[in-house]
Copies of this chain bind each other. A is one copy, B any other.
Amino acid sequence: MKKQKVSSAVIRRLPRYYRHLTDLYLAGVVRISSSALGKAMNLTASQIRQDLSCFGEFGQQGYGYNVSSLRDEIAEILAMGQNHTAVILGVGNLGRALAENFHFDRSGFTLTAIFDVDPNVIGKTVSNVLVRPIDELDNYLKENPTSVGVLTVPRAAALDMAERLVQGGVKGIWNFTNVELNISQSDVIVENIHFADSLLALSYMISENET
């Protein structure tokens, strides 16, 4: 059943496909060819067909792809329908920004809990989710199996919190701290968002662009 491993390059493009298809869908576009999609996304038609062929056959000769159903297929591939759950650790500015502005549900996740150490926020709700004391994390995870822990704690707390998430049985950690989490011995997946790395790459590119 399981195909050969899908390359990381392909995996990174899947959410982009999903995003573009959603835009097309909302714009009322019914069908699209690989070449038209490629033009819109700055990819070759070949690459799109090659990417999709990792997962099955979703098109139709002479027609192209049905936008709505290809979107659904990709949602399926991305496991968006699996009722994933997420908890946020640390509700400072960034944690709060994610809780209030990021639509977890649009990626197939439900935000089920928020943890923090600050007595001023514990017991309150943020975005309709209760903020709990961090001491309750271990118990909470034991009683409420959770897909992903969102790490938005200060640098100093990052490693300890990551360890507790792993112990608590999460399947993935969405890491916003600039700490490199070295938990490769477990089979928990770490997805990093390194703001500084992104800005430095931009710094390089704008300088390169001038010369």
Q: Spell out A's residues near B (CB within 8 Å).
A: 2, 6, 11-12, 14-16, 18-20, 23, 42, 77-80, 82, 84, 92-94, 96-98, 100-104, 106-109, 147-148, 171-172, 174, 178, 180, 184, 187, 189, 191, 193-211
Contacts and interface: CB of A to CB of B under 8 A. Distances in A.
24 contacts: A2-B211, A11-B201, A12-B197, A14-B200, A14-B201, A16-B197, A19-B180, A19-B196, A77-B204, A79-B204, A79-B206, A92-B97, A94-B94, A98-B195, A102-B196, A107-B200, A109-B199, A109-B203, A147-B206, A148-B206, A171-B206, A172-B202, A172-B205, A189-B209
A19 B107 contact: no
A124 to B, nearest CB: 15
Chain copies in complex = 2
A115 B72 CA distance: 38
Contacts of A171: 206, 209-210
Contacts of A14: 200-201, 204
A191 B202 contact: yes
Most chain B beta-carbon neighbours within 10 Å: one of A101, A108, A201, A202:
A202
Most chain B beta-carbon neighbours within 10 Å: one of A2, A78, A206:
A206
Contact of A107 (B77, B147, B189, B196): B196
Nearest to A154: B101
Contact of A82 (B184, B189, B199, B207): B207
